[in-house]
Structure 1
Amino acid sequence: MTISDHDSYIAAAPEQFRPLLATLRAQLARTLPDAEEVFKYNMPGFQIGRSIVASYAAFTRQCGLYLSPGAITAHAEGIAAAGLKATKTGITFPANNPIPEDLVQRLALTSRKDVGL
Structure 2
Amino acid sequence: MTAPKDHDAYIAAAPEPLRPLLADLRAQLARTLPDAEEIIAYNMPGFGFGKTVIAGYAAFSKQCGLYLSNAAIAAHADEIAASGLKATKTGVTFSPAKPIPDALVAKLALSSRKALGL
Settle same-fold status: TM greater than 0.5. yes
Q: Which residue of 1 aligns with 2:104?
A: 103
Q: Which residue of 2 aligns with 1:83?
A: 84
Q: Which residue of 2 aligns with 1:5?
A: 6
Residue identity in the other structure for 1:10: I
CA pair 76-2 structure 1, distance change in 2 beyond 3 A: closer
Distance 1:63 1:50 in 2: 22
CA pair 70-2 structure 1, distance change in 2 beyond 3 A: closer
How much has 1:49 moved relative to structure 2?
4.3
Distance 2:50 2:18 in 1: 29
Using the size of structure 2 for normalisation, the TM-score is 0.95
How much has 1:31 moved relative to structure 2?
0.2
Distance 1:56 1:69 in 2: 15
Distance 1:87 1:75 in 2: 12
Residue correspondences, number = 117
Q: Which residues of structure 1 form unaligned runs of 5+?
A: none
Q: Does 1:16 align with 2:25?
A: no
Over the residues paired in the alignment, what is the CA RMSD in angstroms?
A: 1.1
Between the two proteins, what is the percent identity of the paired residues? 68
Using the size of structure 1 for normalisation, the TM-score is 0.96
Distance 1:99 1:3 in 2: 23
